[in-house]
Each structure stands twice: as structure tokens, then as C-alpha cells.
Structure 1
């Protein structure tokens, strides 16, 4: 009989321990939620590096309902922090960086870099050409043609380069593309 009493007492003790830990668990959950909200606020304010650090601290202990979102926001913070850290000595370096992004398939960031070049110099034919390449590779035929027309108007050599550029292979069947590259056959 004594064993039953001791077992019952052990059950009561473990139940009491559970009851005592619930408020602690709720408090930890509440703190995690507050940390999450603070990190999101930092991100919205454009303080990506500080938000990144906050999300990194949160993720190991984040409740399941915040974990996936925290990871997505962490990736966004890392991406934006990298962008703001980029400093180019000249437009040529920025263009080279954009081309490296195209080559690795990071079309969104490459587009941002090329558009940044155009903000500095709207007549940068090579930036229009690069945007035409991105548009071709991402299936945006209209935009591709617009940028390629501008690139050729600014520098007729771009027409010759585009004729042998494999990045435009998706445009090869478009008659407007052919007319643009081979106007002498009309």
C-alpha cells in the first residue's frame, strides 16, 4: 500500500510541477512574441542589420508559429543588409556586379543594379542591354524588346552583339525580335 501512496504523491508532485511551469512557458512565449514584434519593427524601419541580429537570437527558441516567418524575415534582412553594404568605385564595377548576378540567376538583384545605373545615367546603353537580357531570360518579351530597342538606339553595335548572344534564344522565334536585329532584310 505504501507504494501506491508514494506513487500517488509522485504523480501529484509532477502535476504540481507541470502547473508551475505553465506560467513560465506562457511567459517565454510572450517574450518570444515581443522579440519577434521588435525584430519586425526594426525591419520595417530599414534597420536590417539590427533586425537580422534579433531574428538570429529568436530562431533557436522561437515557438513553432513564429519559426517559419522568422526564418523568411531573417533571409530578407540578410539580403537587404548586403544591398546596403554595396559600394562601387564606379559604374563599371556596378555593371560587372550586375552581370555576375545574372550569371548566377539572381535576376531580381541584377535588375536592381542595372536600374540603379540608369538612374545615374539614362543613356547607359549597356544597362538597357542587360535589362533586355534579363527580360528575355524571364520570359518578358515586351520589356525585352523595349530595352533592346533603346540599347540599339543608344549604341548600334548592340544590334550586332544581340545577333550572336545566346541569352536571347527565347526571343529567336519572335518576328519583332528578328526585324529589330536584321532590319536590312526587310
Structure 2
């Protein structure tokens, strides 16, 4: 077969320089590491973090904590986050207006309020609620146990021993709770306390 006199030209591979490659990637919608870093706005990140913290408190019904967080989001650069924070603020204001202070009526409610006051170090208010709970439910071992703990925290050793002994009589399991309860640290050196919590020990201390 007769070959043509024209030689077939070899196809050369086109080399693309680095700047052109970057432009090509951007044209295709891809981002280099440098472009991704430049898009991140620290102010937006902080605003989003504050918003998420506010939402977490909102779902836990901690409206007093969530409100200032959402108010802080309003001053951020992200309009969408600010709009969403504004919606949450309206809901919080409505719920806080509707919420009224709960007046304890049952033994359990007085007990819970008493324990809450104990945790805040408000001893007089704690004692008031626990006494009311005990009056309504004199055989409630958990109320008597809480009274013993309160007596111990306020340095009333004799009353603490009496209440703890009664709490154990009402419910023997309270003996084991008291062994690891830090509220009774005041009685740790009292031999009566040891005898009450460890009745099976002999005089040798074993």
C-alpha cells in the first residue's frame, strides 16, 4: 500500500501552568485549601457557637441562661442566625411571662424545695420546707434522712444522730447511703455514728 508523503504529526500534551490550574479549579467550582480558609469568618463561627449554646439551654428550659446568649447573637454579622435567635427570644419571653413560681404543697414538693435550698446553702429555708414535708409525711424516710443531713451540715450533732437513727429504722438501706454521704462528714469522728452505720463491727474495730 502506498503511504502518503505527509507524516502524521504527534499529538503534544498541553502543559498547564500553576496559575492556570488554580483558575481552572475555581471555574469548576472546586476550592483550594487557601480559598477554603479565606471563606471562614471567625465572627460567624463565634456567632454560631453562641447560638448553639443558646439552643442547648433553650431545650433544657433554662431560659434565663439562653436569653442573653440569643441577645448576643443579634449583634453578630450573620443575618440568618440573628433572625433565628430573634424567634427564640420571642418564645422565651412568652414562656417566662407565663411561668409562675411554684408553691410547694405536697411532701415531695417541700422535700425537693428543701434539698434545693440545702444545695444553695440557705439552711433556714431548707429547714422550713423539710419540717413542712415531715409534718405532712412523718414516716417518709427520705425526708427524715434529709433532716439528718441538714442537722449535720449546720453542726447539730445530737439532732443529726436522732434523725439518722430514725431514717435507718424507717428504711435500713439508709445506713449504706450514709456511709458514703459527704454531708455526714461532721460526724465521722463520733463513735455513735460509727456504731450506727457499722453495727456488725466488734469492739476491736475490725
- TM-score, normalising length from structure 1? 0.52
Other-structure match for 2:181: 165
Larger Rg: 2
- Spell out, residue by residue over 1:31-60, the C-alpha distance to the aligned partner (whole angstroms, 9 max, x if none): xxxxxxxxxxxxxxxxxxxxxxxxxxxxxx
Task: Name the SS for the 2:200 alignment partner.
Answer: helix
User: 4+ runs of 1 displaced by more than 6 Å?
Assistant: none
Other-structure match for 1:178: 194
Other-structure match for 1:19: none
Taking the TM superposition and a 5 Å limit, the aligned residue runs for 1:137-176 are: 137-176=153-192
- TM-score, normalising length from structure 2? 0.47
Q: Distance in 2 between matches of 1:128 and 1:109?
A: 16
Q: Give the Å deviation of 1:90.
A: 3.4
Q: Distance in 1 between matches of 2:193 and 2:151?
A: 13
Q: Distance in 1 between matches of 2:194 and 2:160?
A: 13
Task: Name the SS for the 1:183 alignment partner.
Answer: coil
8 A Cα contact 2:130 2:147, kept in partner: yes
Q: Distance in 1 between matches of 2:171 and 2:159?
A: 18
Other-structure match for 1:18: none
Higher relative contact order (CA 8 A, sep 6+): 1
Q: Distance in 1 between matches of 2:102 and 2:154?
A: 25
Q: List alignment gaps of at least 5 residues for structure 2.
A: 1-100
Matched, 1:121 2:121: no
Other-structure match for 1:64: none
